[in-house]
Structure 1
Amino acid sequence: MLPGASRAKQHSLAKSVCIANEVTEITKMTIRWGIVGSGKICQDFVNAINSYPKKGDMVVSAVAARENSRAAEFAKCHNISKVFGSYAEMAESKEIDVAYVGALNPYHYELSKLFLESGKHVLCEKPLCLNYKQSESLIKIAKEKNLFLMEGVWSRFSPLYISLENEIESGKLGKILFVEVNLGHPIANIGRISKKELGGSAILDMGVYALQFAQFIFKDEPIKVTAVGELNEDGVDLVDTVVLEYSESRRAVLNIHSKVKLWNKATVVGTLGRSTIEDPFHFPNQLTHVNGTVENFCLHTSPNEYNFQNSAGLVYEAIEVANCIRNGLSESTRMTHKDSLILSKLMDEVRKQVGVHLDVDDKNF
């Protein structure tokens, strides 16, 4: 997640329409969430669900954290009925259906594995795992258990992304040949970015948004990856520039920066024109269409303050997970296992080219 306050830019020369984010009410069958962790992203995830008026039969029923006192405080703040003394205890319980893993990156694999092996569905925050080997192993476990597993790339479920996808599929942009993404925030001093033992990496923390966007648009695996970056004294990348080359002369240029704030837009260019996702592109509320009109997307309000920008949008991935589980699906069609494996492979390649090596890279799973 990224910092910042949620503000929609105004375009005086373009027609602007505010679109309410309508989601069909979920069919009956209560989905009970267990929250794995008590950090800021977990707080926002629960807040997004609890404050959404059309969440349907979906409830946050339990929480567990490394420190029981923090879990108890979290439960009190969010009116959660059950606090478990450990992750293992919650995994073994009959009181949850799906776990939301919002712990730090190095714990994604082990915690997701714990819940899958205990018969629980899993939504794991991005990145799914630290590398391809872990991601492949986790997906294999989910398939063997016939359980739902999804990487929490919440951007994919934004109503704006869906609108852009519809515009592309309509042919209004012509053949898409170029994608440009800029994503930068001055957060290089934060541990989850700068410290290797915390899974620190600009490409793992922020770059996943840019990589997934190129993948979302081209719906293909690149044939060539070129990456350059800047490392800190701990051997962690703080800045990355990535060029992805695809078949048929298609290309994506991605700039990821943890030292300065960039103009965080994403532009899709086709033979008939361009469409731009305005800042903040990672979960946006404003799209400039190829014909110049501006479409605004209004997120629901909450009486509680969010930690990260536009976090109300987290509810859309939660709804996707609930609907998939109800329909007996093991993966989402909007964020598939294949998508996660390609993302993991790309992040491995970028880290390799810029010189970031994690201890986990030497292990087998």
Structure 2
Amino acid sequence: MLRPRDDALARARDAVRSARERQLRGRYAEATVLADAALVWARRAGAEPERTAALRVLGVSLWQGPEPAAAAAHRIRALLAEHGAGRPAARLALTGPLAVLYGMRERWAPARGALDLTRATAMELDPEGGALLLSVLTARVESLAGRTRQAARLLRTAADAADVLGVGPLRDAVRWAGVRLLGDAGRYGEAAEWIPGPVPHAPAAGRDGDGRAAWPGNADRAAGTVARIAAVRGDAGEASVLADLALEAAAASDSPVAQAMVRLDQAEVFRLTGRRDEARRAVCLAGGDFARKGHVPGVSDAAARHAALASAALPFPSASASPPTSPSPSPPTSPSPSPPTSPSPSGVPGG
């Protein structure tokens, strides 16, 4: 018979493993419930690695999942106050997602504060890996502020750092994030150059154990962007199949943002292939998905795209064109020497 501590540790590890599985499948609400359970068992067992692992799942699931951004940020602040003091690894698991959630609400000063805390903690734990992580997270916040060039530069830096560290899968994941970023901006020629390896085609997507499309590597992260690229190149059939596969994968997730992004991909494929009414409908659905998350830049972008389609204007007239950016009055990079927020004694940014 297991002793109480051993039983609690086994339960914590099992819950973390199950939570990670759900997270990988895009079932973020389920992952959150399991990670909460793992956190309880980890505390009972006094198991710090399992505590940190559970907090990592919670941070990502609250960021990516269906919890509205404002409520998700509030929950992460509470987790930081409860678990962050004296635990740098736990802080690092939460401050990055918190920065992105603030960006979703266009709260740039708290976003900078969370990035500052992420920077300080990452440098304390792992300077090389921390710099890479910070570049990716800052790129996320920059992209939310409409600063595509700065975000792309940061992702390039992160991909190069991953290459130097010999972490090929991470490098490819960062490059796919760049494909997504540049595709969203209508810079399809540049997006195609970022694709690691040959451009994937529809037949390359097999099926996983649940019967869903399963792309090689990390291609699923930008399958909708690859669909846009196919449409720009004039292959309407390929673009339509790829967009449908991307939509199918997003529908299996409970992430409003993932669903919204794929709806925008679908809308752009419709626009590029002359199906304007269908494009407007897809953009409307994307706006609803962004609204469910409380994703302010996404709602604004969907509204602008819908207005452009309604007036027959083409926001991105060619594959090489770059859309105008709308930088925030207080962009999230180049923080002042002292943190821009006034954190509480617990070190939790924002409020």
Per the shorter chain, which TM-score range?
under 0.3
* TM score, norm. by length of structure 2: 0.28
TM-score (normalised: structure 1): 0.27
